[in-house]
């Protein structure tokens, strides 16, 4: 008798999971847009790790006197990186490419289901809830800041046969630009390159460390060329922003070689605000 009971319990659990997924899938689609922001930011932990008044998006908004929604998710790449090409875990679901497709379909059910199943970064749920309710059509500016994680993960820069392959860095960026053009007709779309970074643990900088896709400048230069190709704006944080003549320079504007410290966040925010002005 134990085996049938186990099968019945297993079947009930599977049914419950399916019902919860469908509920969330339905609830996350076509939600009334109750929030507005003049600037909407997509990015990784460079913009998303710190979420107080010293965060880069918050400082940009203050300097420009504009409302800002920070939809940056730490640890996320621009590209999808899941091996089986399904959105079944946090890293893939919150990639820029996956979020862009959710924006395009006005359907964040997959993201909601992953938050339900997994222990995501603590702020992910709150940020996603706000993004679901955000009226993107009312935005003036979309900032897209990505690249450092794609570089560190060795994501291929481009697929020459498929420019919109969202398992590549440029393909993901193109996918996001296309989705945001539809979502916010008339809004400025501004790309933001990653800044210079140091791979402190290995004693290397991004000028020499190659994780399989090239050095960081390869990603930056490809992004600059793509922006020109698409006719969209781009802010270059990589070249000539952070000094890097000496190894110890990593301590000036970062806390670990990658994530900017308070002085670094202030410097990046000032550069972006001056450009957007």
Please report the domains of the chain, with CATH numbers, ordered by start residue: 31-276 (3.40.50.1110)
Total residue count of the chain as it appears in this document: 277
The predicted structure's pLDDT at residue 14: 43
- Checking if the pLDDT of 80 tops 80, the result is yes
The predicted structure's pLDDT at residue 8: 44
Q: How many CA atoms lie within 13 A of 187 on its CB side?
A: 27
Q: What is the mean pLDDT of residues 130-144?
A: 96
List pLDDT tens digits, range 5-45: 444 444 444 444 444 444 444 444 566 778 899 999 999 99
Cβ atoms 169, 224 nearer than 8 A? no
- Checking if the pLDDT of 119 tops 90, the result is no
Distance CA 188, CA 75 (A): 25
Cβ atoms 175, 80 nearer than 8 A? no
More confident of the two residues 63 and 20: 63
Q: pLDDT band at 57, cuts 50/70/90? A: very high
User: Residues 190, 193, 197, CA angle at the centre, nearest 5°?
Assistant: 160
Q: pLDDT band at 114, cuts 50/70/90? A: confident
Burial (0-12, 13-18, 19+ Cβ within 10 Å), 1: exposed
Contacts of 165 (CB under 8 A, 6+ apart): 159, 171
Cβ atoms 41, 68 nearer than 8 A? yes
The predicted structure's pLDDT at residue 224: 98
Distance CA 247, CA 107 (A): 45
DSSP string of 14-77?
HHHHHHHHHHHHHHTBS----B--SEEEEE-HHHHS--STTSHHHHHHHHHT--EEEEE-TT--
The predicted structure's pLDDT at residue 88: 52
């Amino acid at each position: 008798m134990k085996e049938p009971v186990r099968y019945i319990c297993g079947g009930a659990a599977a049914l419950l999971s399916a019902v919860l997924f469908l509920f969330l899938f339905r609830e996350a689609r076509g939600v009334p847009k109750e929030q507005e922001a003049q600037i909407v930011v997509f990015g990784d932990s460079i913009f998303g790790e710190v979420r107080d008044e010293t965060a880069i998006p918050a400082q940009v908004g203050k300097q420009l006197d504009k409302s800002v929604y920070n939809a940056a998710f730490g640890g996320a790449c621009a590209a999808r990186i899941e091996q089986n090409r399904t959105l079944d875990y946090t890293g893939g679901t919150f990639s820029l490419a996956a979020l862009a497709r959710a924006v395009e379909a006005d359907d964040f059910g997959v993201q909601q289901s992953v938050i339900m199943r997994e222990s995501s970064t603590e702020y992910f749920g709150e940020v996603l809830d706000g993004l679901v309710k955000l009226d993107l059509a009312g935005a003036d500016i979309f900032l897209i800041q990505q690249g450092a994680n794609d570089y560190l993960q060795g994501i291929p820069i481009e697929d020459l046969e498929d420019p919109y392959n969202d398992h590549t860095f440029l393909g993901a960026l193109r996918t996001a630009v296309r989705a945001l053009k539809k979502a916010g007709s008339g809004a400025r779309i501004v790309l933001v390159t990653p800044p210079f970074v140091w791979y402190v643990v290995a004693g290397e900088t991004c000028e020499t460390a190659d994780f399989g896709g090239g050095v960081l400048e390869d990603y930056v230069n490809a992004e600059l060329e793509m922006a020109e190709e698409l006719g969209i704006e781009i802010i270059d944080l990589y070249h000539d922003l952070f000094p890097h003549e000496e190894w110890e320079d990593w301590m000036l504007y970062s806390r670990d070689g990658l994530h900017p410290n308070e002085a670094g966040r202030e410097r990046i925010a000032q550069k972006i605000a001056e450009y957007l002005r």
